[in-house]
Chains A and B, each alone.
Chain A
Amino acid sequence: MSLDNFIKKHASNWMKEGKGEYSDIVISSRIRLARNIDNIPFPQLADQNQQKQVEKMVSETIDNKDHYRFLLMSSLSYEDRLTLVEKHLISPTLINESKYSGVWLNNEETVSIMINEEDHIRIQVVLPSLNLEEGLQVADEIDNLIESKLEYGFDEQKGYLTACPTNLGTGLRASVMVHLPALVLTKQINRVLTAVSQLGLAVRGIYGEGSESLGNILQISNQVTLGQSETEIIDNLRRVSKQIIDHELNSRKYLMEENKVALLDKVYRAYGILSNAYTITSKEALELLSYVKLGVDLELLDGINPHFFKELIVITRPGFLQKLYGQQLSSEVRDIKRAEVIREVLQKK
């Protein structure tokens, strides 16, 4: 399969769609709701029969099955599961859960209903650009549909009851994935992050909890789930995100006006390496891709497909590369193939 066809077939909507508010800085917006069925032990403690029962109960609530497909983790290869994580369609936790862990994915790949993750049910909606409101609305509708058929664990005071007390209450984790290269280059990023953490928000790396911040991409999400309503949570996150975006835009302006030579040097060196390298690690690739993307955003580089960044940050990950080449690859071979894919995408005019 050609690379173009591969991308068309395997890219999710958030990777393909470039329109929307702040779409050059906000890669995607994500909403996640954690829910559990009343009285059945949470997945970590449930036995095989109970997990199977949960899988069946939740699956029966999915109405329009034409729009969804079900993927049982235990029936997928490790590479396929990894690919789902790299596309942000499932959490890294789901990979290692039980025999009856699975996910209902809608055809557009914007909705994932994870079963037997840390909680029985995790409804996730991922949309391109800054669009938390629509995400919450979609998640809310799915939640209502499931809840009309299942009894959730819920307490008047504590809200939705979850396996981990950090999700108690709304069970809502809202996050935005942002690309902030200028804040990193101007060394403003740490000050911004400190301020964010003081506002009850958390900052994480590209693949969520415990992951590294690679390629100047960060995920900002709400920390508190109890004592605030869903709309308050996303409103707060949205306001803070907007301010961070403004800082990033100001830093870009500053770099263009006051430090253009250094900026051009950074962008063109990154472009030079990426379009000529014959072997490259995932970490180096992400870092350099970030500066090429900055160059494209600031119109210093032209002729590059506007979606290249979102596609490449996913396609150059280990699971995806192996899928592209249809075989298991050692890390040395992956580095070679990664360089090949990047050269091909960047050379397209």
Chain B
Amino acid sequence: MLCQECSKRQASVHFTKIVNGEKMELKLCEVCAKERGDLDLGHGEHFSFHKLLAGLLDIDELQVIGEKVIEKVTCKNCGLTEQVFVNSGRLGCSTCYETFGFKLNPLLKRIQGGTAHVGKVPVRAGGKIRIKREMQNLRDKLNLCIAKENFEQAAIIRDEIRQLEKETERGGS
């Protein structure tokens, strides 16, 4: 049969795409198939893999949560735009994980077994994580003391929190 795109050349590539359970079939000639860029013919497996990954991302033009329209996001640190991110499926820097977290989390559920890291923690960050957890603990205690009107104890805890804050500012671990 003839190519469904150009209606001139013989169709040699049969292409099936399934988006949200809807099946779309296309029969194209090699030239049109290459031009569409939806599929990679033979070369650059890596590239098509990222395309595939990107295809798992939600690429709505506008994201609506409740009544609020979320504007397109750009990473403050590296300048990666949402458009580039959804096209490539790759992040630009470590900050991108915060910036695009809302898009990424559903993807992680699909491609990874879990969404929470349980492996190695670097010593430096590990120190920070410990301090962060301790601070949260102290804040909880502080609130409890204030609620009980135990201001003397609250003042001690407040000082401990300040001390820890100073340590984190110094980059301590």
Which residue numbers of A lie inside 8 Å of B, CB to CB?
Answer: 36, 38-42, 44-45, 93, 140, 143-144, 147-148, 151-166, 168-170, 172, 200, 209-210, 224-230
Cβ-based interface call for B14 (8 A):
no
Q: Which residues of A contact B45 (CB under 8 A)?
A: 209-210
The answer to whether A164 touches B89 (Cβ under 8 A) is yes
The answer to whether A42 touches B115 (Cβ under 8 A) is no
Cβ contact of A227, chosen from B78, B79, B91, B114, cutoff 8 A? B114
The answer to whether B91 touches A166 (Cβ under 8 A) is no
Chain A residue nearest to B129 in the complex (CB): A156
Chain B residue nearest to A210 in the complex (CB): B45
With A165-B108, A210-B45, A224-B113 already in contact, the answer to whether A230 and B94 are too (CB < 8 A) is no
Apart from A153-B93, A227-B116, what 14 extra A-B contacts exist at CB < 8 Å? A38-B94, A41-B78, A41-B80, A41-B92, A42-B78, A42-B91, A144-B123, A147-B124, A156-B117, A160-B117, A161-B94, A165-B104, A226-B117, A227-B113
Which residue numbers of B lie inside 8 Å of A, CB to CB?
Answer: 45-46, 49-50, 53, 77-80, 89-95, 97, 104, 107-108, 111-125, 129, 132
Chain B residue nearest to A225 in the complex (CB): B112
Cβ contact of A159, chosen from B92, B93, B119, cutoff 8 A? B119
With A39-B94, A45-B92, A153-B94 already in contact, the answer to whether A226 and B123 are too (CB < 8 A) is no
Chain B residue nearest to A163 in the complex (CB): B90
Cβ contact of A169, chosen from B53, B119, B123, B124, cutoff 8 A? B119
Q: Report how far A171 CA is from B165 CA in the complex, Å.
A: 30
Cβ contact of A151, chosen from B50, B90, B111, B124, cutoff 8 A? B124
Q: Which residues of B contact A93 (CB under 8 A)?
A: 46
Give min CB distance, B136 to chain A, whole Å: 12
From DSSP, what is the main secondary structure of chain B's interface residues?
Answer: loop
Give min CB distance, A71 to chain B, whole Å: 22
Give min CB distance, A234 to chain B, whole Å: 11
Cβ contact of A41, chosen from B46, B77, B107, cutoff 8 A? B77
The answer to whether A42 touches B112 (Cβ under 8 A) is no
Q: Which residues of A contact B79 (CB under 8 A)?
A: 45
Max count, chain A CB within 10 A of own CB: residue among B78, B94, B108, B114: B94
The answer to whether A148 touches B123 (Cβ under 8 A) is yes
The contact sample of 16 A-B pairs, CB cut-off 8 A, is A38-B94, A39-B93, A39-B94, A41-B93, A147-B124, A148-B123, A151-B124, A153-B94, A153-B97, A158-B115, A159-B120, A160-B120, A169-B117, A170-B119, A209-B46, A210-B46
With A164-B89, A165-B53, A228-B118 already in contact, the answer to whether A154 and B113 are too (CB < 8 A) is no
Q: Which residues of B contact A229 (CB under 8 A)?
A: 118-120
Q: Which residues of B contact A228 (CB under 8 A)?
A: 113-114, 118-119
Q: Which residues of A contact B107 (CB under 8 A)?
A: 165
Q: Which residues of B contact A39 (CB under 8 A)?
A: 77, 93-95
Q: Report how far A75 CA is from B77 CA in the complex, Å.
A: 31
Q: Report how far A18 CA is from B119 CA in the complex, Å.
A: 32
The answer to whether B112 touches A169 (Cβ under 8 A) is yes
Identify the 10 closest CB pairs spanning chains A and B, nearest first: A227-B114, A210-B45, A153-B94, A159-B117, A41-B78, A226-B112, A170-B119, A224-B113, A161-B94, A45-B92
Max count, chain B CB within 10 A of own CB: residue among A39, A140, A227, A228: A227
Give min CB distance, A38 to chain B, whole Å: 5
The answer to whether B129 touches A209 (Cβ under 8 A) is no
Q: Which residues of A contact B117 (CB under 8 A)?
A: 155-160, 168-170, 226-227
The answer to whether A226 touches B80 (Cβ under 8 A) is no
With A156-B129, A168-B108, A228-B114 already in contact, the answer to whether A147 and B93 are too (CB < 8 A) is no
Q: Report how far A284 CA is from B132 CA in the complex, Å.
A: 59
Chain A residue nearest to B125 in the complex (CB): A154
Q: Report how far A143 CA is from B80 CA in the complex, Å.
A: 28
The answer to whether A42 touches B116 (Cβ under 8 A) is no
Q: Report how far A151 CA is from B119 CA in the complex, Å.
A: 18
Q: Report how far A157 CA is from B97 CA in the complex, Å.
A: 11
The answer to whether B118 touches A147 (Cβ under 8 A) is no
Q: Which residues of B contact A153 (CB under 8 A)?
A: 93-94, 97
Q: Report how far A165 CA is from B54 CA in the complex, Å.
A: 10
Q: Which residues of B contact A160 (CB under 8 A)?
A: 117, 120, 122
Give min CB distance, A273 to chain B, whole Å: 28
With A228-B118, A230-B119 already in contact, the answer to whether A210 and B97 are too (CB < 8 A) is no
